[in-house]
């Protein structure tokens, strides 16, 4: 494949988002929109990458480097249109020979395969290719004006289109692939004599056609090139991305009892033969191994679930939770930065944080690891085969030895030796006849 470079336009402040966060950092399926675009483009293995940002956007640069460490950055001081923005990438692409793709940081649904098709279509005969789509409602989009033989003659923006042109349904996505030398030859010729007074990158099509260069187009589905400008469109992008992620999971052998009620993240890894019940939310950084079961109303983020393990219902796995093979985490259990080893059970109303629960151990209902002293976090180590009675508090740092027992209702502040029984609670006292005497006394006072 011809060497590729990418320019990603990401300078928008997102005024219509009503947010202090740069627009491209808003998330779809747990990943920033910019991250989605760079992930798709990364599959082309671009030789060079330039992200055009606005002034004072260090967070955008940090996010871009997460997904494309080789990215360079250019700053567009004022927003005067897409051609104006792309022009700031000139220095970083000087001397590059190949195909340059111009992408948008707020188009998170674009697929790597589509970008590959677009780049492959560029040739000496057709050095500019447009990504286009058939719109259900073309209002607001630029229309592709085609010659009789099929090449693209121009792109007409909605505000500059005549009535006949407005009836065209073949629309411009904004994404192009172009020979890099031609890009920098034509870009300076783009003017701003239009209704918006901006420098449109789309005008490069007409300039190329006038110069005798053939311009072609590649089509994709309309949802793939949805641009996000406000919260309503962000919600639409989320819904479309969730539909895509669920379909991929189902195709890979995952059972989703009610797909529409399961929310996944872009980086979720789910092995075949996993069962996920309704109303499960999976945040970023989650992997679920073969044969695991995630029961209803559970919430997982930055956690791993081992083979044939069970989680939920109503369980919460927070960052650092590692549920190993055949372990069980039951209803109303929260696990944070802790390992639940093979075959261990934490079944009811329990908090396990900054801890290890050894293989085959059993944690009774209502148990908590008291891991925070108000200033620092401390570790609790529960040995293999240990049994922690219900309603116990393990005050970290503390170690429960292998096979040890902790009596129900205990507050454990010292290490428990392997195989020992530890009971730390007030002694039960019984006073025969006390209730009857109390009732009699109360009656005389009346």
Residues 6+ apart with CB under 8 A from 162: none
Q: What is the pLDDT of residue 195?
A: 79
Q: Residue 155: how many CB atoms within 10 A of its CB? A: 27
First to last CA, the chain: 97
pLDDT at 254: 98
Nearest CA to 139 out of 175, 168, 106, 173 is that of 168
C-alpha triplet 28, 245, 111: angle, nearest 5°: 75
Helix, strand or coil for residue 279? coil
Q: What is the tens place of the pLDDT at every residue in 230-282?
A: 999 999 999 999 999 999 999 999 999 999 999 999 999 999 999 999 999 99
Would you please indicate which residues are annotated as catalytic (active-site) residues?
348
Residue appearing with tokens 């060079």: 48
Question: Could you tell me which of 127, 125, 130 has the C-alpha nearest to residue 98?
Answer: 127
The b/e string for 49-59 (b: 16+ C-beta within 10 A; e otherwise) is bbbbbbeebee
Report the C-alpha gap between 190 and 362 in whole angstroms.
71
CB atoms within 10 A of CB 351: 21
Contact at 8 Å (CB) between 380 and 355? yes
What's the pLDDT score for residue 213? Answer: 95
Q: Do domains 4-225 and 242-422 have the same CATH topology?
A: no
- Residues 6 or more apart in contact with residue 177 via CB below 8 angstroms: 99, 100, 101, 115, 118, 119, 121, 122, 128, 129, 131
What's the predicted TM-score (pTM) here? 0.93
pLDDT, position 382:
98
Q: Could you give phi then psi for residue 371, rounded to 5 degrees?
A: -95, -10
Under 8 Å CB-to-CB from 114, ≥6 apart: which residues? 131, 218, 220, 224
Q: Is the pLDDT of residue 295 over 60?
A: yes
Pick the CATH number of 242-422 from 3.40.50.970, 2.160.10.10, 3.30.565.10, 3.40.630.10: 2.160.10.10
Using pLDDT thresholds of 50, 70 and 90, give the confidence band for residue 445. low
Identify the bridge partners of residue 398 per DSSP, sorted by sequence position: 380
- The domain ranges of the chain are 4-225, 242-422
CATH number of 4-225: 3.90.550.10
């Amino acid at each position: 494949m011809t060497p590729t470079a990418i320019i990603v336009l990401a300078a928008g402040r997102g005024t219509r988002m009503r947010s202090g966060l740069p627009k491209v950092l808003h998330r779809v399926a747990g990943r920033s929109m910019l991250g989605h675009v760079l992930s798709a483009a990364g599959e082309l293995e671009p030789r060079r990458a330039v992200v055009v940002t606005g002034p004072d956007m260090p967070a955008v640069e940090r996010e871009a480097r997460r997904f494309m460490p080789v990215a360079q950055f250019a700053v567009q001081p004022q927003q005067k249109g897409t051609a104006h923005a792309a022009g700031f990438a000139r220095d970083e692409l000087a001397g590059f020979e190949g195909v340059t793709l111009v992408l948008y940081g707020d188009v998170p649904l674009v697929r790597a395969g589509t970008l590959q098709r677009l780049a492959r279509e560029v040739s000496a005969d057709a050095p500019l290719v447009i990504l286009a789509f058939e719109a259900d409602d073309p209002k607001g989009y630029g229309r592709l004006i085609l010659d009789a033989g099929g090449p693209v003659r121009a792109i007409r923006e909605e505000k500059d289109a005549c009535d006949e042109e407005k009836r065209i349904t073949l629309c411009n996505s904004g994404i192009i692939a172009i020979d890099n030398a031609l890009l920098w030859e034509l870009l300076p010729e783009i003017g701003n004599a239009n209704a918006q007074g901006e420098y449109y990158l789309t005008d490069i099509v007409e300039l190329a056609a006038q110069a005798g260069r053939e311009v072609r187009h590649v089509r994709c589905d309309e949802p793939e090139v949805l641009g996000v400008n406000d919260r309503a469109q962000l919600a639409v992008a989320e819904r479309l991305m969730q539909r895509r992620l669920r379909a991929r999971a189902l195709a890979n052998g995952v059972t989703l009892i009610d797909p529409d009620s399961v929310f996944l993240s872009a980086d979720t890894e789910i092995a075949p033969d996993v069962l996920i019940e309704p109303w499960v939310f999976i945040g970023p950084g989650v992997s679920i191994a073969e044969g695991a079961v995630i029961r209803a109303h559970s919430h997982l983020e930055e956690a791993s679930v081992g083979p044939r393990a069970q989680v939920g219902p109503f369980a919460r796995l927070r960052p650092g939770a590692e549920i190993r093979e055949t372990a069980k985490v039951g209803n109303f259990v929260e696990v944070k930065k802790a390992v639940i080893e093979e075959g261990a059970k934490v079944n009811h109303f329990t908090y396990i944080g900054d801890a290890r629960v050894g293989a085959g151990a059993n944690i009774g209902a209502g148990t908590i690891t008291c891991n925070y002293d108000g200033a620092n976090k401390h570790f609790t180590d529960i040995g293999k085969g240990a049994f922690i009675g219900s309603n116990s508090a393990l005050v970290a740092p503390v170690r429960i030895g292998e096979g040890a027992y902790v009596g129900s209702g205990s507050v454990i502040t010292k290490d428990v030796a392997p195989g020992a029984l530890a009971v730390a609670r007030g002694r039960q006292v019984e006073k025969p006849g006390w209730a009857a005497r109390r009732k009699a006394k109360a009656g005389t006072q009346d």
